[in-house]
A and B are shown apart, each in its own frame.
Chain A
Amino acid sequence: EDQVTQSPEALRLQEGESSSLNCSYTVSGLRGLFWYRQDPGKGPEFLFTLYSAGEEKEKERLKATLTKKESFLHITAPKPEDSATYLCAVQALLSTGFQKLVFGTGTRLLVSP
């Protein structure tokens, strides 16, 4: 069964304290891995797509990396405005021939000033 596991469930950082969020996946026929940010009361906002092991993408203080079994979202010198839930999702090819995004349950990040 296709599965996406994110850790930790919650993370509290001080402003400027760098850290990493983990997304491990078990999926057949990986077509892509997506990172989204979700603020309270809002829909998920797209951050990155990674397609192959070794690929990296960066945006401001965020960098996403991908291996064959997991992805990391590195946050460098975070600021309070980086506080949000970060969702990981994999595009899976189902046995039916359909494709769908399978989401993890997210990591809630709180950055204190």
Chain B
Amino acid sequence: EIRMTQSPATLSVSPGESATLSCRASESVANNLAWYQQKPGQSPRLMIYGVSARASGVPVRFSGSGSGTEFTLTISSVQSEDFAVYYCQQYNNRPPWTFGQGTKVEVK
């Protein structure tokens, strides 16, 4: 099973600042990497798939990068609605799919 490790666990940012979230895979997942946003009491929302493709309706301030085992989600100018928990997930080849443990983006 591929392990996904996210860092940091919590990221404190002020509105308008940029935020950089990291995700590391225990082995290569090629470009089969997605990012999700989850707000309290809500289901997850797909933000990024294929490392860098924005899902439908996702603002351009969200961008993804990386390859192989190291991936990054960047929020270029954090807005109030962006404070949430973010999860990375690999979907390489065949299940089991695995998620990282999440990074909480909170108000500084």
* A, B bound: no
